[in-house]
């Protein structure tokens, strides 16, 4: 990978690893609809000029139903669920639970064949290595979530896991129904949909006083850095290193989320978190690693008599020419 590719890779690991920290700070003072609306509106404001310069929204014509469905399971639902869950859960735990996305994606694509229709990646069988990764990763999620499965924390854990499921479904929708739609225009349109959905709820739940500087900075960071800059960096990373390498940065995000929560919010770093972290990341790697190519069948040697006859025929043909 080129130095530019490594730089983009490192930036993506940070940019999409810190939203959990910012959400945690913002929801302490601002309503969930206001958090989602602010993030989407600012991201839309910053991405719209790039989308218009790239040709506008003509490519979305005829694709609005899957675009709306994609927006719902990628942004409208998940960002509200995630923000609400972080009223109860720590940012580091939330980031680790979201790390189950590669595991859920591997399981869903290979069991239901939503993307491949029986061919390609979606048609690959779940071999022993992938089953080991799936079980190990899901075990890490269960270990992390088990102590919180009571009262309001159980609801919050469910919201994060539902968010992870949405993040799993959205790429499958994009792969099947939005393959021809440019990602920049798709992202901008989805942010526009989410902004419209949350405009009225955000107004009705607006804070009665100006939030603190930390909360305002978190809202600005979510919109400008984690949303607008994050998507632009992701597009550049895709062009620089390709899809296969680009998605590996998702393994870095949980580490950034945990480190940010521990260092900046004084969240606890327990043995359970460390063990779950190792299990989820190892499981994700094993579950999503490309399958080894099938061994080529050995060439069958012809009997000696057949070989001799073939050599004789070849020699006769050469003599005839």
Stretch 109-131: mean pLDDT: 58
| Per-residue pLDDT at 292 exceeds 80 | no
Contact yes or no for 100/280 (Cβ under 8 A): yes
Per the model's pLDDT, the better-predicted residue between 72 and 2 turns out to be 72
Return the higher-pLDDT residue of 70 and 172: 70
Q: What is the DSSP string of 136-180?
A: HHHHHHHHHHGGG-SHHHHHHHHHHHHHHHHHHHHHHHHHHH-TT
pLDDT band at 286, cuts 50/70/90?
confident
What are the tens digits of pLDDT across the range 3-59? 887 888 888 888 888 999 999 999 999 999 999 999 999 999 999 999 999 888 999
The domain segmentation of the chain, as residue ranges, is: 3-293
- Number of helical (H) and strand (E) elements in the chain, helices listed first: 16, 0
pLDDT-based confidence at 103, cuts 50/70/90? Answer: confident
pLDDT at 289: 66
- pLDDT on residue 66: 94
Distance CA 9, CA 247 (A): 9
Say if residue 316's pLDDT is above 50.
no
Does residue 248 have a pLDDT over 70?
A: no
Residues 253 and 17: beta-carbon distance below 8 Å? yes
Query: Distance (Å, rounded) from C-alpha 79 to C-alpha 38?
Result: 11
Closest-CA residue to 181 (of 264, 58, 90, 75): 58
Angle formed by the axes of helices 91-98 and 151-177, to 10°? Answer: 40
Task: Answer yes or no: is pLDDT of 318 > 50.
Answer: no
- Read off the pTM: 0.79
Share of the chain above pLDDT 70, in %: 79
Which carries the bigger pLDDT value, residue 13 or residue 60?
60
Helix crossing, 151-177 with 77-85: angle to 10°? 160
């Amino acid at each position: 990978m080129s130095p530019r590719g490594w730089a983009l890779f490192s930036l993506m690991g940070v940019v999409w690893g810190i939203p959990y920290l910012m959400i945690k700070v913002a929801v302490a003072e601002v309503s969930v609809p206001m958090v989602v609306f602010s993030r989407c509106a600012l991201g839309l404001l910053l991405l719209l000029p790039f989308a218009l310069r790239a040709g506008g929204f003509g490519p979305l014509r005829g694709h609005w139903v899957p675009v709306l469905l994609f927006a719902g399971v990628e942004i409208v639902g998940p960002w509200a669920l995630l923000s609400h869950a972080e009223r109860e859960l720590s940012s580091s735990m939330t980031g680790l639970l979201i790390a189950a996305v590669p595991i859920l994606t591997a399981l869903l694509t290979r069991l239901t064949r939503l993307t491949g229709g029986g061919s390609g990646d979606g048609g690959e069988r779940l071999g022993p290595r992938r089953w080991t990764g799936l079980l190990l990763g899901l075990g890490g999620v269960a270990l992390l979530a088990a102590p919180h499965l009571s009262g309001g924390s159980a609801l919050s854990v469910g919201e994060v896991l539902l968010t992870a499921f949405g993040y799993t479904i959205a790429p499958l929708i994009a792969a099947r129904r939005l393959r021809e739609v440019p990602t920049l225009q798709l992202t901008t349109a989805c942010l526009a949909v989410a902004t419209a959905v949350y405009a009225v709820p955000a107004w009705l739940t607006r804070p009665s006083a100006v939030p603190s500087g930390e909360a305002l900075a978190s809202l600005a960071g979510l919109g400008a850095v984690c949303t607008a800059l994050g998507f632009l960096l992701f597009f550049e990373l895709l062009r620089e290193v390709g899809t296969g390498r680009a998605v590996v940065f998702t393994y870095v995000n949980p580490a950034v989320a945990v480190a940010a929560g521990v260092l900046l919010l004084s969240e606890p770093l327990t043995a359970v978190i460390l063990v779950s972290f190792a299990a989820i990341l190892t499981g994700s790697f094993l579950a999503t690693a490309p399958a080894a190519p099938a061994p080529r069948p050995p060439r069958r040697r012809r009997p000696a008599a057949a070989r001799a006859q073939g050599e004789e025929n070849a020699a006769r043909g050469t003599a005839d020419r």
